Amino acid sequence: MFRIFLFLIFSCSAGKLIFKKNQKADIAKSDHVEKDLNDKFKVVDSSSTNTTSTQPSYVERQTKVTTKNIKSKNTSNDHSAQNRTSTTTSTTRAMITTTTQAVRVEPVYKTKEPVSYGLWKSFKKDYLYPSEQMSVNISYMGINAASVLIKMRKNLASIGSKETYVFFARAKTASFYKWIYELDDIVESFVDVNEFVPLKYNLVQRESKKDIDHIELYDRDKGMTHFRYKRVTKDGKVTHRKKDKKMPHFSQDFLSVFFFFRGLPLELGKKYVIPITTKGTTWNMLIKPISKVKMNVGKLKNIQAIKLQVFNKYSGDLSKKGAMEFWISDDKYRRFLQVKTDTKIGKVYGTLDKYIIDGTEITQ
């Protein structure tokens, strides 16, 4: 999510007038990716298979979720009185269940990547909410310049034999700013359910001067990242970039890191260093919880929040741009509340507008 904010912050100051309209897609075009990689990292949506959904709703999750039958409390459909099961059988696919469980981390990485191993072991899935949506307004000088929608898709997807969570974000400039610069960017991240590491990352940028399709394929079994990039400019010039490099087993991408750090202990005074792999390069993000405060954000009044400092680190050096200040709620949701960053054009804020789970807005 940090990357999405940066796209908006820098793009809104570019000062370009013409926007080439393009048909949007949820995933990047893969015509510049080798067939063997496309086949290996093909995404299969569980909703497209002939299986029975066992997805618990948000209402159901307010009761204790076990691997036994769960009686649905959702009265909005004809099956509200039926029992659901979270175990897998020959005719069902395991859907998202997020009890207070930690990720499953192989002990072999305890010696290979001890720092990240410990961090991943401390991560819990308490704050993963299927069908969660956060609408965020981006403002500059008090004017709404753009909006970002961040959500977790309801169903799991499969990449090969691995089940994945699907995280999605879309950033769009506000109508007022379209005469300056227009963008419509989509990001998707497919994250391994067991170890909570991304397997595939798609970025689609449709902007005033360029179309970009950025695909990153993370082969965790071989410890390799495959970066593929295609850019088409307004005048039709096509640029391709390709990089295949070694990477650590534990790393996040620009979108998955937001869902990852919410599941960390986030103790005041502690430092959390999260490896980020993008464009074939791995660098570190440093997150420091610094205080707990009360906030009023939109419809949320006097809500308890954790204030964080977020540094982008590369080769051990703190980013020259300094820290982003970031606030998340200190409750059972740990929802995004606000972000503030300094840019060449001044302070830019991202503020939560709506927080929705299963179509219901949460205002407390």
Distance from the Cα of residue 192 to its chain's centroid: 13
Is the model more confident about 97 or about 187?
A: 187
In b/e form, how buried is each residue of 273-287, taking b as 16+ CB within 10 angstroms? ebbbbbebebbebbb
pTM of the model: 0.81
Q: Please give the Cα distance from 280 to 278 (Å, whole number).
A: 5
First to last CA, the chain: 23
Nearest partner of 164 among 135, 136, 198, 207, judged by Cα: 198
In b/e form, how buried is each residue of 63-77, taking b as 16+ CB within 10 angstroms? eeeeeeebebeeeee
pLDDT at 78 exceeding the cut of 60: no
Residue type, 273: V
Q: Please give the Cα distance from 25 to 51 (Å, whole number).
A: 25
What pLDDT score was predicted for residue 322?
A: 62
H-only helix segments in the chain: 2-11, 35-40, 109-112, 114-122, 256-261
Please report the sign of the dihedral spanned by the C-alpha atoms of residue 106, residue 107, residue 113, residue 118: positive
What is the tens place of the pLDDT at every residue in 249-285?
A: 999 999 999 999 999 999 999 999 999 999 999 999 9
Q: What is the mean pLDDT of residues 185-211?
A: 91
Residue type, 60: E
Tell me, what DSSP letter sits at residue 55? P
The residue with tokens 């680190």 is 313
Q: Please give the Cα distance from 11 to 184 (Å, whole number).
A: 11
Q: Please give the Cα distance from 243 to 280 (Å, whole number).
A: 6
Q: Which residues contact 4 (CB under 8 A, 6 or more apart)?
A: 148, 150, 169, 171, 185, 187, 254, 255
What band does 95 get if pLDDT is binned at 50, 70 and 90? low
Nearest partner of 71 among 193, 59, 17, judged by Cα: 59
What band does 137 get if pLDDT is binned at 50, 70 and 90? very high
Q: Is 212 helix (H, G, I), strand (E, B) or coil?
A: strand
What pLDDT score was predicted for residue 295?
A: 95
Which range is least confidently modeled, 34-43, 99-108, 143-152?
99-108
Q: Which residues pair with 243 in a beta bridge?
A: 227
Nearest partner of 146 among 105, 92, 182, judged by Cα: 182
Three-state secondary structure along 95-159? CCCCCCCECCCCCCHHHHCHHHHHHHHHCEHHHCCCCEEEEEEEEECCEEEEEEEEEECCCCEEE
Locate 107 and state its tokens: 């002990």
Q: Is 4 helix (H, G, I), strand (E, B) or coil?
A: helix
Locate 211 and state its tokens: 């179309």
Q: Please give the Cα distance from 351 to 328 (Å, whole number).
A: 11
Q: Please give the Cα distance from 24 to 63 (Å, whole number).
A: 39
Q: What is the mean pLDDT of residues 302-319?
A: 76
Is the model more confident about 85 or about 105?
A: 105
The dihedral over CA atoms of 141, 146, 150, 153, expressed in degrees to the nearest 10, equals 170
Q: Please give the Cα distance from 262 to 167 (Å, whole number).
A: 14
Locate 226 and state its tokens: 């495959």
What pLDDT score was predicted for residue 73?
A: 37
What band does 140 get if pLDDT is binned at 50, 70 and 90? confident
